[in-house]
Amino acid sequence: MISTLSRAAAHAGSWYDKDPKLLTEQLSSALSAADKFTGNGFVKVLIGPHAGYRFCAKTAAWAYNCIDPKLYKRIILLGPSHHEPINCCAITTCDLYETPLGNIEIDVEGVEKLLRVKGFETMSKSIDEAEHSLEMHLPFLKHIFGKMPVKLIPIIVGTINTEVEGALSQAFTNYMKDNETLFVVSSDFCHWGLNYGFFYYKKEDGEIYNSIEKLDKRAMSLIENIDVEGLTAYFEETENTICGRHPIAIILNVMKATGDKYETKFRHYSQSNQVKHPSEFSVSYAAAYSSRII
């Protein structure tokens, strides 16, 4: 792939601050408020949210505080598509991603290798810049990695079935075994209310927000246990609006395929609003890591 394109920081100034000083202060504050990693093994995967920073930066920081940036040379970032119907894994055609804190270089060689695999295709620059699920992780990544020579493979995962999730995951197995590669999965959790057409509620759970949390934590438990089949059944039963379900499923399949042992833990959970009335709405956010037990 030959490219001289840069992807603009399209959501800077709206979803997060475009001023480098103010953005750095916000990220530093969020990271300082989150506990450092105290788990076991070598961190291979982060799961974090992608909403506006005033809603989710605090939660995202609990994921990013799990990594030592000196250990990684490549980041594979996977997120869902919110604007375009995609039925594959779509990869950027750009060679730089811009952030207010500086550019992040694309692993062009890694992109070219994935594009030779069935199910991986390029996306247009306009689709790339319209999608926020990847961009919202970039300032955190640039802030943490700074001038370190880390490269990025950004991938939007479309609406795919369980068979395709399993097939596409094979392309990432060697990367999962590579100690210099970090996976970041972008996902919000339950989207509740009229805006999202989702009104799950069980009165015995208490307030609506209690019922939402219980619903989300069922999924979080299945993810912690790397239970791909159980998570598929969960979505069929509940139809919970976890937008990153397909990227999450791909990563769980990858971990299973390696045959290694992992510790997966959710470290933080929050909601944009504690809903008590059906006229209200909220989005849930969660932060997790998966570490390979050595």
Which structural domain, as residue segments, surrounds residue 208? Answer: 198-241
Looking at the chain, the whole-number percentage of residues with pLDDT higher than 70 is: 99
* Angle ∠(217,159,192) on CA atoms, nearest 5: 40
The rounded mean pLDDT for the chain is 95
| Residue 279 within a domain | no
| Residue 193 within a domain | no
215 shares its domain with 154: no
Give 14: exposed, middle or buried? Use CB within 10 Å, 0-12, 13-18, 19+: exposed
Q: Which two tokens stand for residue 123?
A: 């996306």
| Residue 224 within a domain | yes
| Residue 89 within a domain | yes
| Residue 106 within a domain | yes
62 shares its domain with 90: yes
| Residue 86 within a domain | yes
96 shares its domain with 222: no
For residue 2, is pLDDT > 60? no
Summarize the confidence of residues 85-110 as an average pLDDT.
94
183 shares its domain with 206: no
pLDDT 10s digits, 33-69:
999 999 999 999 999 999 999 999 999 999 999 999 9
255 shares its domain with 236: no
Find tokens 């990544």 and name the residue.
141
Global confidence as pTM? 0.95
| Residue 104 within a domain | yes
Find tokens 């934590």 and name the residue.
217
Cβ–Cβ < 8 Å for 212, 220: no
180 shares its domain with 203: no
CATH number of the domain residue 72 falls in: 3.40.830.10
pLDDT at 83: 84
183 shares its domain with 133: yes
Distance of alpha carbon 104 from alpha carbon 72, whole angstroms: 14
184 shares its domain with 69: yes
Q: How many domains does the chain have?
A: 2
